[in-house]
């Protein structure tokens, strides 16, 4: 009962922080537009430098950026534990599963659920995107923005090559190369599992590191989470004013509607269909995970809280959660896939590219590959989007213009994308755990 009260208390504080941040953010946008339209740019510059400026930028060397500092410190504190958490949790998960047949069964179910939800997400996004495309909602939306440049990208199949690192130390020191860390952890875990009782020290070390991570996570989230969330969202509103939010309204509304549909209805139906459980406890308990993911816009930063919620409040056994969630953070990106498909169709409409059935199939396949290879960090999905455009041959002048527009306005969408991604990981963990009878139903229902 105390656990539930603490969870609800933290969720309430996060929700209050988000509501206050949205109100203050909208007020900041109104203030910004008023000052800029009345010739008081200097006043806004002072306010921006004190509260919101990105002090890492060369042009802001004298700025204070109070909200930026608080937000970045919070995110960095979470990022600090990502690599050790992923590495140790996967190793421990594999070590605890002594039955090799069970390990293979869990892995196949996990990948199956991940792939299934991603395919459904892409089919839904493609169907709705084509309806909007044929209705002309995306036509010539960015023609007046000539002169904007796109960004470079690499072949999406490079994720296969980069999944196996050539240096263990560098792999463990790179938060953007989580897939390589997962592969290393899987290799070590399988080796330890195979060696059995001959390896005794490493499991104990991993257990102690995991305990330290849990204590640090609880302290950071409960003490600083709501304040940091307020700062992150308020600054996002201040940084992306009305001039950036007006263009491509059709793209934004359509993407947000699909993401909300999948988040509020899709995963509830998934949990009901795969487990037979009442989805309401799942929705209620993952609310704070969704809010946290929305605020930080980082699946990696949300992983520690998602792990804690899935095991302690949804009742999923640790051996399942420790395997499914880190892997899901790396390869299960339903929200990213939806955003990338809608954005690709939007850009195709803006640039006058005809979308045939073969091209749509190619976009779907590339979206699956690209979403798997998307780093679990803020803004990564929009950057990786360029690999889909290049692979589908949508790369004329207007395509680059529209792509730059997506980059400019995508921050609010990325926040919702992350909320969907992290809840999807938890839903798959519950489904796998229920099929393996590795879930505490009393915890889940309480």
Helix (H), strand (E) at residue 48: helix 41-51
Number of domains present in the structure of the chain: 1
Read off the pLDDT band of 60 (50, 70, 90): confident
Q: For residue 65, is pLDDT > 80?
A: yes
Which of the two residues, 40 and 405, has the higher pLDDT score? 40
3-state secondary structure of 401: helix
- Tell me the per-residue pLDDT of 245-304, one tens digit each, with 9 for 90 and over: 444 677 888 888 999 999 989 999 999 999 999 999 999 999 989 988 888 777 877 888
pLDDT value of position 379: 54
Confidence of residue 12 (pLDDT cuts 50, 70, 90): confident
Q: Could you report the per-residue pLDDT of 416-431, keeping only the tens digit for each?
A: 888 999 999 999 999 9
The answer, yes or no, to whether residue 443 has pLDDT greater than 80, is yes
pLDDT at residue 258, as a whole number:
92
Within 13 Å, how many C-alpha atoms sit on residue 24's CB side? 17
What percent of the chain is predicted at pLDDT more than 70? 81
Highest mean pLDDT pick, 51-60, 80-89, 406-415: 51-60
The pLDDT value given to residue 233: 76
Mean of pLDDT values over 314-333: 85
> Residue 163 pLDDT more than 70?
yes
CA dihedral 226, 292, 287, 371 (to 10 degrees): 170
CA distance 355 to 332: 26
Q: What is the value of pTM for the model shown?
A: 0.65
Q: Give residue 362's pLDDT band: very low, low, confident or very high (50, 70, 90).
A: confident
Q: How many helices (H) and strands (E) does the chain have?
A: 22, 0
The predicted structure's pLDDT at residue 433: 92
The CATH number that applies at residue 214 is: 1.10.3860.10
Mean pLDDT across the stretch 190-206? 84
Q: How far apart are CA 206 and CA 203, in angstroms?
A: 5
Q: Concatenate the DSSP letters of all residues of 228-259 into one string.
A: HHHHHHHHHHHHS-HHHHSS-HHHHHHHHHHH
What are the structure tokens assigned to 401, written together? 């213009």
For 67-93, what is each residue's pLDDT tens digit? 889 888 887 887 777 778 778 877 877
Average pLDDT over residues 316-320: 89
**Mean pLDDT for the chain overall:** 79
pLDDT reading at 151 higher than 50: no
| Weakest mean pLDDT among 223-227, 305-309, 440-444 | 223-227
Alpha-carbon gap, residue 311 to 308, rounded angstroms: 6
Full residue range of the structural domain in which residue 26 is found = 2-445
Quick: pLDDT tens for 210-260: 788 777 877 877 788 788 878 877 887 776 555 444 446 778 888 889 999
Which are the contacts of 155, defined by CB distance < 8 A and separation ≥ 6?
A: 387, 391
184-198, 352-366, 392-406: least confidently modelled range: 392-406
pLDDT at residue 391 greater than cutoff 80? no
| Confidence band of 4 (pLDDT split at 50, 70, 90) | low
Which residues on adjacent β-strands are paired with residue 316? 439
Question: Which has the closest alpha carbon to 414: 242, 267, 293?
Answer: 293
Report residue 152's pLDDT band, with 50, 70 and 90 as the boundaries. very low
The arithmetic mean of pLDDT across residues 354-377, rounded, is 72
């Amino acid at each position: 009962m105390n656990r539930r009260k603490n969870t609800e208390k933290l969720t309430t504080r996060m929700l209050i922080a988000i509501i206050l941040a949205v109100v203050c953010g909208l007020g900041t946008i109104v203030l910004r537009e008023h000052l800029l339209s009345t010739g008081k740019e200097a006043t806004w510059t002072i306010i921006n430098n004190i509260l919101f400026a990105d002090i890492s930028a060369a042009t802001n060397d004298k700025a204070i950026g109070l909200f930026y500092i608080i937000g970045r410190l919070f995110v960095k504190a979470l990022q600090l534990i990502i690599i050790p958490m992923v590495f140790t949790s996967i190793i421990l998960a594999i070590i605890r599963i002594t039955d090799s047949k069970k390990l293979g069964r869990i892995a196949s179910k996990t990948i199956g659920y991940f792939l299934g939800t991603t395919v459904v997400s892409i089919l839904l996004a493609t169907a709705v995107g084509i309806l909007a495309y044929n209705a002309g909602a995306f036509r010539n939306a960015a023609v007046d923005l000539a002169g904007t440049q796109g960004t470079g990208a690499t072949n999406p199949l490079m994720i296969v090559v980069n999944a196996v690192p050539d240096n263990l130390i560098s792999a463990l020191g790179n938060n953007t190369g989580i897939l390589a860390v997962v592969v290393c952890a899987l290799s070590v875990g399988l080796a330890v599992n195979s060696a059995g009782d001959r390896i005794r020290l490493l499991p104990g070390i991993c257990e102690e590191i995991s305990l330290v991570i849990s204590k640090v996570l609880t302290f950071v989230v409960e003490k600083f989470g709501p304040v940091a969330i307020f700062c992150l969202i308020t600054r996002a509103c201040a940084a992306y004013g009305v001039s950036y939010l007006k263009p491509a309204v059709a793209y934004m509304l359509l993407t947000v509607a699909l993401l909300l549909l999948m988040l509020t209805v899709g995963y509830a139906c998934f949990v009901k269909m795969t487990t037979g459980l009442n989805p309401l406890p799942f929705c209620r308990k993952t609310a704070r995970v969704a809010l946290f993911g929305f605020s930080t816009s980082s699946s990696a930063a949300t992983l520690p809280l998602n792990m804690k919620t899935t095991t302690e409040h949804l009742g999923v056994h640790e051996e399942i959660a420790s395997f499914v969630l880190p892997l899901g953070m790396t390869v299960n990106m339903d929200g990213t896939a939806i955003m990338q498909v809608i954005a690709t169709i939007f850009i195709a409409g803006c640039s006058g590219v005809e979308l045939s059935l073969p091209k749509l199939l190619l976009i779907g396949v590339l979206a699956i590959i690209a979403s798997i290879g998307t780093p679990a960090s803020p803004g990564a999905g929009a950057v990786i989007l360029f690999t889909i455009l290049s692979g589908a041959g949508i790369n004329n002048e207007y395509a680059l213009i529209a792509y730059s527009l997506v980059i400019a306005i995508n921050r609010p969408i990325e926040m919702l994308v992350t909320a969907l991604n992290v809840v999807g990981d938890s839903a798959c963990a519950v489904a796998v755990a229920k099929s393996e009878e590795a879930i505490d139903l009393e915890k889940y229902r309480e």
